[in-house]
Amino acid sequence: MMSPKITYEYERITDIKRLNFITNSLQQVIPANANILDVGCGNGVITRHLGQFGYNVLGIDVSDKTIAVARSKNTLANVRFEVMSAEELVASGAQYDAVICSEVLEHLHDPGVLLKTIYQSLKDNGTLIVTVPNGMGPREVFVTKPMLKVRRNPGLQAFVNKVKGALGYKGTTVQSQADNLDHVQFFTRADLRALASANNFDIIKISRTNFVEDVFPFSMLTKRVKSLQSLDCQVAELLPLGFTGGFNTIWKKK
């Protein structure tokens, strides 16, 4: 009997690369019927993708809006979504074979609080997969940080938004419908290792994402040409780790 075809909701190559990193990392150590928690799941893209491989996946988020979207897109019986805080998660007492925390920590003023919750929710031999932007990577340095400064000037922000709209940038993301997606943390490798250690984790693997395909003006072309996105991801693999746009990482309890 043929296995069902795996589908992808993401279109950007670097997003697919991150999704494949998560899936491949799990398949190496976690059986197909394992219980997985996707923290800060947003619209549930990763949650649903993992469900295609037979995992029992719970996606949680504090945003009612994102969970409503996640549920509306879900057709898998082994995948479910709940509006749930970190405190409620710990109170449930459930433990998971793996926890996914993808593109979440950079939005938190105190990421250690969430990591302490994850520690309690992860089995002792479990796997935690964390993905974050590289705080000194091309996009964060040349796009994210300047745009955060622009936000402090309403008039300038209105002008920039008008220009972005004219250039075809919608300002939305397939990942989440949350109202505030600002980055408030900018992690280097050293920052990430220190954060892990402070919360009783060891980072056992760090992988690259992309290079400059999502940095304006390169993004004007690469968002339309998938082959350039693929090339950019391949270039990232050849450069020093500090040049990558993001970190895909595997964590284990100490």
- Element at 119 (helix H, strand E): helix 111-121
**Structural domain count of the chain:** 1
Strand partners, 202: 252
Mean pLDDT of 69-81: 96
Describe the strand order of the beta sheet including 122-133 as a list of residue ranges.
79-83, 56-61, 35-39, 96-102, 122-133, 246-253, 201-208
Q: Indicate which CATH number applies to the domain containing 76.
A: 3.40.50.150
Share of the chain above pLDDT 90, in %: 77
**Mean pLDDT across the chain, nearest whole number?**
91
Q: Report the candidate in 95, 86, 85, 92 with the shortest Cα–Cα distance to residue 126.
A: 95
Give 21's contacts (C-beta < 8 A, 6+ positions apart): 129, 131, 207, 248
Task: Determine the Cα–Cα distance for residues 208 and 247; give it in Å rounded to an integer.
Answer: 5
- Residue 35's pLDDT band, with cuts at 50, 70 and 90, is very high
Structural domain includes residue 149: no
Parent domain of 104? 13-139+170-253
- Of 247 and 4, the structure prediction assigns the larger pLDDT to 247
Q: What is the pLDDT of residue 167?
A: 64
Question: What's the pLDDT at 246?
Answer: 98
Domain membership of residue 156 (yes or no) is: no
Is 241 part of a structural domain of the chain? yes
Output the six-digit token pair for 77: 């019986």
